[in-house]
Amino acid sequence: MIIRNFQKTDREAVEAIFALYWTDPVFLKELSDKLQIFIDDTQECRQQVLHFFVAEEEGEVIGIGGFMTASDYLREYAKTDNPVEFYILASKHRGRGIGGDLRIKMIEEAKKLGFTEVLFYSPNSHKESWSFHDSLGSKRLGEVIAPDGEPGQVWRGSL
């Protein structure tokens, strides 16, 4: 398995992975829009320090991870001035280490960009992923309400 930067040609495979986990058309559109912002390398992409990576195995995209400058609603949980938000982390297959490998790459790249800690939000509708987040050494800080009104948990970790 290799971890590399997301490319425009990965979009269809990545959106198929998104569809494995999310059904909300508004959130799926938000994810698609973020991919397009990254593809286009817009000013918004540079301001948000938006970045996506894929896990690839034998030419097949099997995972996606992305980070950006932490959203305002998460910043109150930060202990430092430059937190990164792990925005998305999903894989085609569970239990094969794909998410962990993507997370390692995201940490390496976030450090290079000068981020000082990581924040991560997962909605209550994805409780099945919480044990994964708990196992990564980040501290679960409690419930937060996302801007879309959905409650979930927030984690903070060091880089």
| pLDDT reading at 45 higher than 70 | no
Instruction: Count up the domains in the chain and report the number.
Output: 1
| pLDDT reading at 137 higher than 70 | yes
Pick the residue with more confidence: 137 or 49?
49
Domain encompassing residue 105: 2-158
Cα–Cα nearest to 70, from 80, 82, 62: 82
Cβ atoms of residues 70 and 83 within 8 Å: yes
pLDDT at 81: 92
Which tokens hold the place of 146? 């996302």
Beta strands (DSSP E) in 113-159 are: 117-123, 139-145, 151-158
Give the pTM: 0.86
- How crowded is residue 122: how many other Cβ atoms within 10 Å of its Cβ? 21
Please give the share of the chain, as a percent, with pLDDT higher than 70. 96
Q: In this predicted structure, which of 46-50, 53-57, 84-88, 110-114 has the lowest mean pLDDT?
A: 46-50
The CATH number given to whatever domain includes residue 71 is 3.40.630.30
| pLDDT reading at 84 higher than 80 | yes
Cβ atoms of residues 1 and 62 within 8 Å: yes
Q: In this predicted structure, which of 19-23, 44-48, 65-69, 120-124 has the lowest mean pLDDT?
A: 44-48
pLDDT band at 82 (very low <50, low <70, confident <90, very high): very high
